[in-house]
Amino acid sequence: MNYRHSFHAGNSADVVKHSLLITLVRALQQKPGALTLIDTHSGCGLYDLGGEQAQRTGEAAQGVLCAFSDANPLLDDYRAAVRAVNDGAEPRLYPGSPRFLAQLLRPQDVLILNEKHPEDVQALRAAMRDTPAAVHQRDAYELWLAMVPPRTPRGVVVVDPPYEQTDERERVTATLAAAHRKWAHGVTVIWYPLKGRATHQQWKGRLRKLGIPKFLSVEHWLYDGDQPGIYNGAGLFIVNPPYAFTQALPSLLEALRAALAPDGHRGALTADWLGG
């Protein structure tokens, strides 16, 4: 599967991912110690929902536009972050993870971004020019390992590949194992698309064998059964989620599920522990 950010900006997966990222980082910020936020596959940083690529899929209509039509106050922080890149107006531009993370920075926090694609990294640098982010152009998995443990006492690594390489899941698995050996208490968030339940369960089985104790899986299946050949949803693996985040998660997931349920399909938005 090739999942380029620009084609899918503002879709249901983005709404879930970015709502959870906001909640996760703010849970960690309940303590005053500095955080390093690392995004290994940053993309362009900012996307035009009226542009050709976003319009080709039209996925924002079932994502950010649904969230903006919903009244649940649990989504207020997400909507405010989107409005912040639109001068307070309804969404015309959509912030990628780098812009969401930049909005969450406190003076003591550090933001490190990475994008290997030559055109995308130029767009990323332009999109982040008014922020203190450091932007790298390196292999994502090499950077992931090189940056952990961070210099600050705590940190979060966000891994959001396009899954265009056939070995992407194997590289995620191997790098996670190596990174966890270096930084066992670190928080890691891994995004992934969902196509078929059987294949996905095999990957979860391989990840479970890593023996990582606090390993949460959040999955948003758009349909009650697999729809062959199409995008069926997305999920997040979260290593070492903080307690305040896990306490807030059930209510947030229910709010997201209600806002994003496709017409005629209830789907499921669930969280379960892979490790112990």
d(CA 216, CA 257): 18
Q: Where are the domains of the chain?
A: 22-44+99-273
For 22-44+99-273, give the CATH class: alpha beta
Per-10-residue mean pLDDT, the chain, length 276? 66 96 98 98 94 80 93 97 92 96 98 96 97 98 98 96 92 98 97 88 95 96 68 92 98 94 71 83
pLDDT at site 70: 93
d(CA 139, CA 28): 27
The catalytic residue positions are 160
Contacts of 211 by beta carbon, 8 Å cutoff, 6+ apart: 275
pLDDT at site 225: 64
pLDDT at site 2: 43
pLDDT at site 55: 80
pLDDT at site 261: 81
Model's pTM, two decimal places? Answer: 0.94
pLDDT at site 223: 75
d(CA 30, CA 185): 17
pLDDT at site 122: 97
